[in-house]
Amino acid sequence: MSAVLARFRPRSGVQLSQEQVVLLVVVALFMVFSFVLDGFLSVNNLLNLARSVSALGILSVGMAVVVIARGMDLSIVASMGVATAISIQLMQTQASTPVALLVGLGVVLLMGVFNGFLIAFVEIPALFATLASGLLVYGLARTTVLDGLIAELPGDRTFVRWLGQGAVLGIPVPILVFLVVAVLAQFMLGRMRTGRFIYAHGDNAGAAALTGVSVRPYTTIEYMLSAAIGFVGGLVVAGSVGGLNTQVIDGSLVYDVLLVVVVGGISLVGGRGSVLSVVVGTALIGVMLNGMTILNMNTHEKDIVKGLILLSALVLDNRLHPRDEETVRQGD
């Protein structure tokens, strides 16, 4: 909503939106890395960079949907991982690819419904609900459904492999998938009623409810959407590395997703930012991760750096979009 209002605000001088600032930072970082780091500025590396972060970008689009609605889905990686692993496990049997994919989709949608129920109807703060539901679904899957830690994609499932490893006109398919998801999400958020309602919900849930938005069902829809988009990201991951290591759920991927969203300018107070924010955020994190890899940093060092950046992003976001700290509920 504020994005709409901002257009009518008189502008004096040069005012940059957060996306533009981030974009400038990306360009600056890009240039610095190009000069400083050997082998950064090569078509190969750049395509590699883009391909490696596109799965992260897709997940971030999913997260963006709920964050715009003033929610948070910490279970996005868990539901993605579990659903993808179940899909792959089905593919190892006689099941056809569409059936396997549908089952996976069903799992994530169910997960979205569960999250939505906990958050909208039981009124558990989103952070708690999704933190616990992520652990729950991973634990359940591990104890009942999944065979091992690593689900290997059979070689004959070409569609999924193509999603991760194929190329159209020289452009890797993951990048295209990311772009398609981004465009669709932007269309949904910006042009469709559902999207506008999501913004309204995030901007002021009480006002949205009063004007007739069915906030509770919408919350459920938001988490279903987020989980479904996450599933696409999971398939891309599975396709590109030929399987899925479910340990990714325990890892720090969800922090990367959070980092992309918050750094890109989708404020945690809700109702702000767009898919464009996710794109520039992904670009920034992609460049950063790539730079860190070339610098030969190990995972732990990367974790520390990412954590520190995320911390400062959270603090900054809080400065830019302050909350009424005295009336917030736990977990807001």
Strand, helix or coil at 211? coil
Strand, helix or coil at 155? coil
Closest CA to 216 of 330, 63, 71, 109: 71
| Segment (H or E) for 152 | strand 150-152
Q: Closest distance between other proteins and the C-beta of residue 182, in Å?
A: 25
Q: Closest distance between other proteins and the C-beta of residue 236, in Å?
A: 24
Which residues here bind other proteins, judged by CB under 8 A? 74, 118, 122-125, 127-129, 132-133, 135-136, 139-140, 142-143, 252, 255, 258, 268, 298-301, 303-304, 306-308, 310-311, 314-315, 318, 322-323, 325-327, 329-332
Q: Closest distance between other proteins and the C-beta of residue 298, in Å?
A: 7
Instruction: Give the residue with the Cβ less far from other proteins, 193 or 329.
Output: 329
Q: Closest distance between other proteins and the C-beta of residue 309, in Å?
A: 10
Closest CA to 114 of 273, 34, 227: 227
Instruction: Give the residue with the Cβ less far from other proteins, 125 or 190.
Output: 125
Instruction: Give the residue with the Cβ less far from other proteins, 113 or 314.
Output: 314
Q: Closest distance between other proteins and the C-beta of residue 74, in Å?
A: 8
Closest CA to 59 of 77, 72, 79: 77
| Residue count (the chain) | 332
Q: Give CA angle at 325 (254, 135), nearest 5°.
A: 25
- Contact assessment for residue 64 and residue 185, using Cβ atoms and an 8 Å cutoff: yes
- Give dist(CA 331, CA 177) in Å, integer: 33
Instruction: Give the residue with the Cβ less far from other proteins, 13 or 322.
Output: 322
Partnered with residue 171 across adjacent β-strands are: 168
Q: Closest distance between other proteins and the C-beta of residue 70, in Å?
A: 12
Closest CA to 130 of 247, 272, 215, 227: 227
Q: Closest distance between other proteins and the C-beta of residue 108, in Å?
A: 18
Strand, helix or coil at 95? coil
- Give dist(CA 177, CA 185) in Å, integer: 12
- Give dist(CA 306, CA 311) in Å, integer: 8
- Contact assessment for residue 199 and residue 68, using Cβ atoms and an 8 Å cutoff: yes
Phi, psi of 271 (to 5 degrees): 75, 5
For residue 323 the two structure tokens come to 């909350």
Q: Closest distance between other proteins and the C-beta of residue 66, in Å?
A: 14
